[in-house]
Structure 1
């Protein structure tokens, strides 16, 4: 179970990022700098396996949320540099939560409970249909309104199962 943490802000720069000493992976990896506007800056390493919600193209100036594993080892540099697992372009009326959801479909932080409807689209990261129970898995949840209860409850538009 990963400890997913979000960081939101405006993309200030996107550049190629070489891994290794022989310029390995040139063009396949990107470094995306994100500024939250309150003095915090993060560099996300975007890999070929990074999942982009709705497969959108992100450009400098876009408001985004990057999700990373807070328990993963990171280099001690400033600004901090995290491996992006999921990137989402912030869109009005759409929320994104990446977390482990238990057997009651509650997020590990206890902040969101999912109520699945027949209209909830459930997919794998490759876009194929997911037909099993999404409980006890890492999920990317795309949803709109939610209740003001604790945990907040929502009927998601789409669930992407991270196998």
Structure 2
């Protein structure tokens, strides 16, 4: 099971990233560099399988959050470089959390509880409807306002179920 971590920052640059010598993959992989308010830099390798929330296009200057597997091996270099699994462009009207949600729909860090409404869209990464209950799974949750309780509670706009093999 993946354990997700994230880094949020302003897109400093986006470049093509070749992964083999043949050049056949040129343009398919991107090297995205983010810088946060403390001038910390993190680089993400964005692959064709990286999931972009709402399928948005990002550009230099956008504020985005990159999610990666905190247990995956990474090169010991500075700035850190992670394989982006999920990217979300930050907006004023929605939040995004990627985490494991238990049988009570509480995130693994205990900070967010989901209250699913009939209008909450529950889908797969490919956009198709998820017809089962999304408990005990890794989820991409798109939501708005929350309560001030701990855990904060919200009725999400959309839940994307991550079906890891």
Q: Which TM-score band applies after superposition, normalised by the shorter structure?
A: over 0.9
Q: Which secondary structure does the structure 2 equivalent of 1:31 belong to?
A: strand
> Shift in Å at residue 52 of structure 1?
0.3
C-alpha distance in 1, partners of 2:2/2:152?
Answer: 21
C-alpha distance in 2, partners of 1:82/1:145?
Answer: 30
C-alpha distance in 1, partners of 2:115/2:161?
Answer: 15
Partner of 1:63: 63
> Shift in Å at residue 101 of structure 1?
0.5
Q: Which runs of 4+ in 1 moved over 6 A?
A: none
Q: Which secondary structure does the structure 2 equivalent of 1:54 belong to?
A: helix
> Shift in Å at residue 151 of structure 1?
0.7
C-alpha distance in 1, partners of 2:162/2:3?
Answer: 14
Partner of 1:11: 11
After superposition, give the CA deviation of every residue in 1:54-107 in whole Å (9 maximum; x if it has no partner): 000000000001101111000111111000011000001200000011111111
- Is 1:20 the counterpart of 2:39 in the alignment? no
Partner of 1:48: 48
Q: Which secondary structure does the structure 2 equivalent of 1:48 belong to?
A: strand
> Shift in Å at residue 24 of structure 1?
4.7
Partner of 1:2: 2
Aligned residues: CA RMSD: 0.9
Provide structure 1 residue ranges, at least 5 long, that are not aligned to the other structure.
none
Partner of 1:100: 100
C-alpha distance in 1, partners of 2:59/2:159?
Answer: 25
C-alpha distance in 2, partners of 1:62/1:87?
Answer: 12
**How many equivalent residue pairs?**
163
> Shift in Å at residue 43 of structure 1?
0.4
C-alpha distance in 2, partners of 1:129/1:158?
Answer: 11
> TM-score by structure 1 length?
0.97
Partner of 1:159: 159
C-alpha distance in 1, partners of 2:147/2:105?
Answer: 15
Partner of 1:132: 132
Partner of 1:38: 38
